[in-house]
Structure 1
Amino acid sequence: MSILTKSGVVLIEQPGGPEVLKYETIDLAGPRSNEVLIEQKAIAVNFLDVFFRSGRFPLPAYPAPIGLEAAGIVTAIGEGVTSFAVGDRVAYYATTGAYAQKRVISVDDIFRLPDNITFDVAAAVMVKGLTAKMLIRDGYAVKAGQYVLIPAMMGGVGTLLSAWAKSLGAIVIGTVGSPAKKQLAEQRGYEHVIDLQNEDLIACVNVITGGAGVDVIYDSVGKDIFDRSMDLIKTGGTFVSYGGASGWPEVDALPLDQKNIHFVQAQLNNYPGYQHKKGEAMKEVFEQVEKGIFDVQHLLVYSLADAALAHADMESRKTTGSIILKP
């Protein structure tokens, strides 16, 4: 097969810290049957990427590709492709290898991007928005007036989840890791923001709820917060676990049974909307953008070659909201 073009890519050299992400230029063969070549315009950075990079989610061989979602323009099509044409604006998620300037991908893994959704916005909200949708619609259907605790509310998923819950009339209580992030959250209209660097989580939640506890916790932190969470959830409440940034929680059935707490393990990889890659599940996510519920005006942008720096900043909690890479 003839070489069509060259592409900058980021690969995981071996499991480890951000420094194992290496940018290099590779030869890229043209698309085969049922494939297209995409010139990528915006690439998402997700905390899931950290798990793959660190070896927490082992990969079969190294160097290994990284990244799950991006948006761009079709620049070449393979034999027999009729559903897409050169010039089409497309996006994809749940397909490894997104940290690349250009890539060849199956037409089964991409969908046409709506005209009113920019490349940057698509990369910022696809996986994170689908995660929020999974939690809000399937993990626990939050209702108006309920107390909702969202740890790491200024993270990539946290910002979208907090906004969606607030739009449904829930009373959102969020945690952040610094006074600066608390100020930012308050500027965005959140009344109940707890700075874990300077405030006591349990005491603050008890004041906000009048000691009644929260109806649901949507948690991505995991081990560091799980034990305290049992004291914060009201009897008959729900704990939805969708991540383990500090390690997966060790779930003890006894405290759950004592307060009749419903524990939900929400896994994006098992979510039908994530498995179906043609964008059907994205419609409601993009609606949140159109309604102005999702704040997509404050994206953090790094160059693709600086992917290691983006990872380092995200893990050290220097970032807020969605992070994207630009080739």
Structure 2
Amino acid sequence: MEHDHKTTGFVQIKTTGAPEVLEYQHGDLLRPKINEVQIVQQFIGVNFFDIYYRNGSFPVENYPVIIGFEAAGIVKEIGPEVVDYKVGDHVAYYKTFGAYTESRNIDQHEIFKLPSEIPLDLAASVMIKGLTAHMLLKQSHALKPAEVVLIHGVTGGVGSILSQWAKALGATVIGTVGSEAKKKIAVKRGFTQVIDLSSEDLVTAVHSYTNGKGIDVFYDGIGKATFEKSLSLLKDGGSAVLYGWSSGMPEIDKELMESRNIKFAFDALNNYPLYQDKSGKGLTEIFDLLMNGKIILEAPLVYPLRHAAHAHSDIESRKTTGSVILKP
């Protein structure tokens, strides 16, 4: 006789704090409810905002809690009223809390079928980062061909997608990185204007690339360490786009921006309609760019799920390039 439950491993936090608060545990997994699908997760995406949930910048109502928002896996069992999925289907989801787990039950409307040509590890590493890039390029500042764009952290998880997509749109991309090794990665991807912030001065380097003309837009996920200098490089009437603050939240001088007619965008992914829509339709363009070789990503860095703390610690100390995923 089949039991009504089995066990699954997961990573939870009982309190907020340093990476060590991520604890690997085992618990019961019940059978899926009538409208649920049970997924055996193959890969789990790690995003910078997972760190904000872990360290308490984004609090949750009740602890203990399983963090994480995206994963890709294989359908193991379906509830009695599920008709669109069958056992064995490759599926993925984003924007549903509780991803750091080996298996889970999830509402059938929260997942979507993956195109057969998209591998599960790639899916888990590009959904949220790809939708972030989508929002930045389509909503925060609708990037036009021939614009000169400065993108910080071009080898990062979002930066890798954002910079190659901007290039595919016909923009001139100037990118920054934090080390000589990361500069080599960017150059290998075909970027000729790359600034290593550990050894080069941002303002001087950008002026030399633009012959002093400045930039039309910058995309900044770093914040305090880069925002003010980037602002000084913008043409009047340009766009300043802030989407993250890994070095701290910058001072925002609204009066200066108004006087120079600069558009400031600070969009939250949570409010972006294509992210709120969990059907995956916002990913079609990203998957196409990947399939057509317009965006080429290095293989994601894989950590075992039980070592999630190690993954968080490496991301925070900027040891990683590209995407980080967890493998149950």
More divergent stretch after superposition (290-299 vs 235-244) = 290-299
Matched, 1:110 2:118: no
Matched, 1:5 2:29: no
Aligned-residue offset at 1:296: 3.2
- Unaligned ranges ≥5, structure 2: none
Decide whether the 8 Å contact of 2:71 with 2:124 is kept in 1. yes
Aligned-residue offset at 1:21: 0.6
User: What is aligned with 1:230?
Assistant: 231
Aligned-residue offset at 1:17: 1.2
User: What is aligned with 1:52?
Assistant: 53
Structure-2 separation of matches of 1:299 and 1:87: 24
Percent of paired sites with the same residue: 51
Decide whether the 8 Å contact of 2:160 with 2:297 is kept in 1. no
Listed as ranges, the matches of 1:308-327 within 5 Å are 308-327=309-328
Decide whether the 8 Å contact of 1:230 with 1:255 is kept in 2. no
Listed as ranges, the matches of 1:53-72 within 5 Å are 53-72=54-73
Structure-2 separation of matches of 1:84 and 1:158: 34
Aligned-residue offset at 1:61: 1.7
The one-letter code of the counterpart of 2:71 is A
More divergent stretch after superposition (244-253 vs 282-291) = 244-253
DSSP-derived class of the 1:173 partner:
strand
Matched, 1:77 2:44: no
Aligned-residue offset at 1:250: 2.6
Decide whether the 8 Å contact of 1:124 with 1:296 is kept in 2. no
User: What is aligned with 1:38?
Assistant: 39
User: What is aligned with 2:300?
Assistant: 299
DSSP-derived class of the 1:223 partner:
coil
Measured against aligned partners, the alpha-carbon deviations of 1:37-82 in whole angstroms (never above 9, x if no partner) come to 1000111011011111110001112221111000111101112111
User: What is aligned with 2:177?
Assistant: 176
Structure-1 separation of matches of 2:23 and 2:246: 23
User: What is aligned with 1:244?
Assistant: 245
User: What is aligned with 1:158?
Assistant: 159
Give the alignment's Cα RMSD to 1 decimal: 1.2
Decide whether the 8 Å contact of 1:37 with 1:103 is kept in 2. yes
- Unaligned ranges ≥5, structure 1: none
User: What is aligned with 2:144?
Assistant: 143
Structure-1 separation of matches of 2:295 and 2:65: 33
Displacement over 3 Å in runs of 4+: none
Structure-2 separation of matches of 1:30 and 1:102: 11
Aligned length: 326
Structure-2 separation of matches of 1:230 and 1:163: 22
Q: Normalized against structure 1, the TM-score is what?
A: 0.97
Aligned-residue offset at 1:233: 0.6
User: What is aligned with 1:273?
Assistant: 274
Decide whether the 8 Å contact of 1:3 with 1:27 is kept in 2. no
Decide whether the 8 Å contact of 2:22 with 2:308 is kept in 1. yes
DSSP-derived class of the 1:76 partner:
strand
Measured against aligned partners, the alpha-carbon deviations of 1:85-117 in whole angstroms (never above 9, x if no partner) come to 111111000001111110110011001111111
Q: Normalized against structure 2, the TM-score is what?
A: 0.97
Decide whether the 8 Å contact of 1:92 with 1:277 is kept in 2. yes
Decide whether the 8 Å contact of 1:150 with 1:175 is kept in 2. yes
Listed as ranges, the matches of 1:249-268 within 5 Å are 249-268=250-269
